[in-house]
Amino acid sequence: MHYKRRRLLLAGASLAASGTGLVRMPAFAQAGPLLRKMIPSSREEIPVIGLGTARRYENAAGAQREALERFGALGASVIDTAPVYGQAEAVVGELLEQLKLRPQLFLATKVSISGREAGVQQIEQSFKQLRTGKVDLIAVHNLRDTQVHLGTLRELKNQGRIRYAGITTSFDRQYGQFEETMRRQALDFIQVDYALDNRGADERILPLAADRGMGVMINLPFGRGRLFDAVRGKPLPPWASEFDCRSWPQFFLKYIVSHPAVTCAVPGMARPEYVEDNLGAARGRLPDPAMRRRMERFIDGI
Ligand SMILES: NC(=O)c1ccc[n+]([C@@H]2O[C@H](COP(=O)([O-])OP(=O)(O)OC[C@H]3O[C@@H](n4cnc5c(N)ncnc54)[C@H](OP(=O)(O)O)[C@@H]3O)[C@@H](O)[C@H]2O)c1
């Protein structure tokens, strides 16, 4: 079946709620295309699981090539990077060129420096490192010189060099300023930390993003691995199968991407087996609100 048609069928199927209150997916979904969500400002759909490149892509010394190859083969597309993640932009740029993956990808990077001119130079360097003429999303990293860089990002959008602009944080202490920026600025995307054991963004930031029509990319979905430590040695609860969850990583990621305001999550993954496992969270049923409460009670009780 034509790829786009399959996607449309799946998107339609994913909206049909079942009698149990769980979102039902067709039986072929396990082997089929990835679940996608819409970016509010454009109505473009992107897969709900992407890939983060902090720390593990700082240099190409491991299995990053195989991880990206698998990522592409499974039909995924969102990659999040930043100019301050060591050599990550250059590593990703080189591997994507070798693997000829750029056309299917949604590339997101950041501007992570103070000052207008310095920001412009850093962005130009990102285009070079990523070996592309068009970056899908650039976000102001951790609110660093936000007003100044949002002006630059708007110009780049007008020139057609980027498609979306946004802001990021992963610090509770920045949430107030983050919300303020969301209220004042027209942003395509926000990126914020959110995880089953770190749900602060759910209080005001995620509802505000929904109100303001902003796409939401979630960073630190495993709390940099903290969640794996919490469940080490513990079996998955049997009710995880009710939302087609086969592993702890899928448990944590399905919780995130089932939030109605969340567009996608970008777990850090530099190993092909992680990619395979994590992208399983973009298949099958997702937990409904009652199941999400059960997952919260479960983790809070550990
Ligand atoms: N303010 C910002 O803009 C900001 C801040 C933070 C992060 N981010 C973005 O968010 C992304 C994600 O954050 P993160 O990578 O620091 O933390 P994370 O996604 O919460 O955790 C990543 C770690 O989880 C482990 N992991 C991943 N998949 C696994 C699997 N299937 N099975 C077992 N372990 C698995 C890996 O540990 P090992 O590699 O050690 O095995 C990996 O390094 C970053 O890469 C970055 O793109 C943005």
Chain segment 145-161, per-residue pLDDT in tens: 999 999 999 999 999 99
The residue nearest atom 42 of ligand 1, judged by CA position, is 268
Interval between CA 268 and ligand 1 midpoint (Å): 3
Cβ atoms 104, 135 nearer than 8 A: no
pLDDT of the residue at 33: 86
Average model confidence (pLDDT) across the chain: 91
Q: Choose among 15, 77, 81, 67: nearest CA to 44.
A: 77
pLDDT of the residue at 228: 98
pLDDT of the residue at 23: 40
Q: Does residue 220 line the site of ligand 1, with CB under 6 A?
A: yes
pLDDT of the residue at 2: 37
DSSP code per residue over 231-281: HTTPPPPGGGGGGT--SHHHHHHHHHHTSTT--EE--B--SHHHHHHHHGG
Regions of the chain where pLDDT drops below 50: 1-30
pLDDT of the residue at 31: 59
How many residues make up the chain in this entry? 302
Q: How do residues 22-79 score in pLDDT, each as one tens digit?
A: 444 333 334 578 999 999 999 999 999 999 999 999 988 789 999 999 999 999 999 9
Q: In what order do the strands lie in the sheet with 106-111?
A: 51-52, 78-80, 106-111, 135-140, 162-168, 189-193, 215-219, 264-265
Please state the pTM of the whole predicted model: 0.92
Give the residue, out of 224, 248, 273, with the most ligand 1 atoms within 8 A of its beta carbon, to mutate for a pocket test. 224
pLDDT of the residue at 20: 34
Report which secondary-structure segment, H or E, holds 98. Answer: helix 88-99
Q: Does residue 277 line the site of ligand 1, with CB under 6 A?
A: yes
